Amino acid sequence: MGETKKMLRALAGETQAVPPIWMMRQAGRYLPEYRATRAQAGDFLSLCYNSELAAEVTLQPIRRYGFDAAILFADILLVPQALGADLWFVTGEGPRLSTVTQQRDFDALKPADAIHDTLAPVYDTLRILTDALPSDTTLIGFAGAPWTVATYMIAGRGTPDQGPAHALREENNALFEALLERITDATIDYLSMQIEAGAEVVKIFDSWAGSLQGDAFENYAVDPCRRITAALKQKHPTVPVIGFPREAGEHYVGFARKTGVDCVALDNSVDPEWAAANVQVDGCVQGNLASSHMVTGGQALVDDTRAIVRAFSGGPHIFNLGHGITPDADPDNVQLMIDTVRNGA
Ligand code: CP3
């Protein structure tokens, strides 16, 4: 305790009159300085593995806006790449990977503890940031949740309904579960190393948790997150963990209790008043302004920002969007959101 950083105070359970604020994808294509550095790096993956430039883009939104937290610049798909999958990005379409659908694909993957050669530049990025960040800015590390990462490894790309991953878990559950376990083990190692390199908080992104229903949600969203959190807490008991089971709906209720995470990040399909009554009762929540406001701005942005701050004002809260900011966002709208949270709510 005795924390001075606003972000860490919220994660320790403190209610603050003005919540800390940061933004998913705050280093991204809506910023001209990001586009310039990305061009200098060559492409997105080269930027992820260039520690100096990855640290530079992480710092850009901190310099411009003074956010309370900086999130490591990297990608959730670096873990599959470190496990031996081929990974590339198709401009305008998104990620592509070699697929894991057969036992022989799984057998070709590397063991979990073999990921660090590939991921060493990520740890260097965190070391650079630890020295470079302002003293009141919290450094966040992250990884994808096993289910979300598995959906990309199985389909070889993003899919609207995660169909191929659901098909594999029905048709070859042993293979599916072995893959999930490999990703879980790798994620524990990866996040531990991120913490050792300077991450003060880690966040687990389960972008496709919403397509898991009933027992499947318990087995493939809750359980891996619980295992990762428990393993991290054993090694690094003071480092807070944020869970983001995006579009979990009713499954947000009790998620913190079941998994042991210190904070639950909410997507913007969740009503803030409902979440205050049903999720924030268990501790800190993060969210949840619709990222479309960063495109459209105006009074609607101000009104929704105020409503979220007000709804969560009775407990620990970290202000954020409900999903990443999009490339067509207007940087001035980000400033308007920040001003509303800090001065006008
Ligand atoms: O929040 C942050 O800024 C931290 C860095 C970060 C990125 N991706 C950078 C990135 C984080 C935390 C992610 C998470 C991520 N990556 C997720 C989970 C969160 C979510 O958004 O649902 C997923 C599913 C991915 C996989 C991925 N990476 C996709 C689907 C894409 C989009 C492809 C595209 O062209 O838009 C990426 C690329 C990506 N990751 C970008 C950034 C800034 C854009 C790449 C660019 O500069 O061209």
Per-chain mean pLDDT for the chain: 97
Looking at the DSSP assignment, which residues form a beta bridge with residue 203? 142, 242
Please say whether the beta carbons of 314 and 275 come within 8 A: no
Ligand 1 probe mutation, 25, 45, 47, 148, most atoms within 8 A of CB: 25
20 has a pLDDT exceeding 70 = yes
Nearest protein CA to atom 41 of ligand 1, as residue: 28
Give the CATH number, domain containing residue 64.
3.20.20.210
Query: Which pLDDT band, with edges at 50, 70 and 90, does 2 fall under?
Result: low
Q: How far is the CA of 14 from the centre of ligand 1 (A)?
A: 30
Ligand 1 mean position to 172 CA, how many Å?
29
Nearest atom of ligand 1 to the alpha carbon of 25: 3
Phi and psi at residue 181, in whole multiples of 5°?
-70, -40
pLDDT of residue 345: 55
Q: Measure Cα distances from 231 to 40, 187, 242 in Å.
A: 38, 10, 14
Catalytic residue among 65, 123, 152, 190: 152
Q: Are 138 and 67 in contact (CB under 8 A)?
A: no
Per-residue pLDDT of 284-333, as tens digits, reads 999 999 999 999 999 999 999 999 999 999 999 999 999 999 999 999 99
Phi-psi sector, 206: left (phi>0), alpha (psi -120 to 50), beta: beta
Sequence-ordered list of residues with C-beta below 8 angstroms from that of 39, at least 6 positions apart, any chain: none
Query: What are 111-141's pLDDT values in tens digits?
Result: 999 999 999 999 999 999 999 999 999 999 9
For residue 150, what pLDDT is reported? 98
Q: Whose CA is nearest to atom 23 of ligand 1?
A: 76
Q: Is 25 a catalytic residue?
A: yes
Average pLDDT score over residue span 179-191? 98
Average pLDDT over residues 162-190: 98
Q: Which position among 75, 189, 206, 282 bears the catalytic label? A: 75
To the query of whether residue 342 is one of the catalytic residues in this protein, the response is no
Residues with CB under 6 A from ligand 1: 24-29, 38, 44, 71, 73-77, 94-95, 142, 144, 158, 205, 207, 324
**Which pLDDT does position 344 carry in this prediction?**
75
Task: Convert the pLDDT of each residue in 37-64 to its tens digit.
Answer: 999 999 999 999 999 999 999 999 999 9
| Percent of the residues in the chain that have a pLDDT greater than 70, as a whole number | 99
Closest protein CA for atom 8 of ligand 1: 75
- What spacing in Å lies between the alpha carbon of 4 and ligand 1's midpoint? 30
Domain that holds residue 300: 2-343
pTM across the whole model: 0.97
115 with 42: CB under 8 angstroms? no
9, 38, 182, 246: the catalytic one is: 38
Ligand 1 centroid – CA 202 distance (Å): 16
Radius of gyration of the chain (CA): 19
Q: Is the pLDDT of residue 1 over 70?
A: no
**Tens digit of each residue's pLDDT (9 = 90 or more) over 71-106:** 999 999 999 999 999 999 998 899 999 999 999 999
Residue 312 CA to ligand 1 centre (angstroms): 27
Number of structural domains (the chain) is 1
pLDDT of residue 92: 87
Active site residue 29: yes
332 is catalytic: no
CA angle 118, 135, 30 (to 5 degrees): 60
Strands 263-265 and 284-289: parallel
**34, 43, 44, best to mutate for ligand 1 pocket (most atoms within 8 Å of CB):** 44
Residue owning the nearest CA to atom 24 of ligand 1:
207
Report how far residue 78's alpha carbon sits from residue 148's, in angstroms, rounded to the nearest whole number.
13
User: Which residue owns the Cα nearest ligand 1 atom 21?
Assistant: 324
**Residue 103: per-residue pLDDT:** 98
Question: Is 152 considered catalytic here?
Answer: yes
- pLDDT tens string 135-175: 999 999 999 999 999 999 999 999 999 999 999 999 999 99
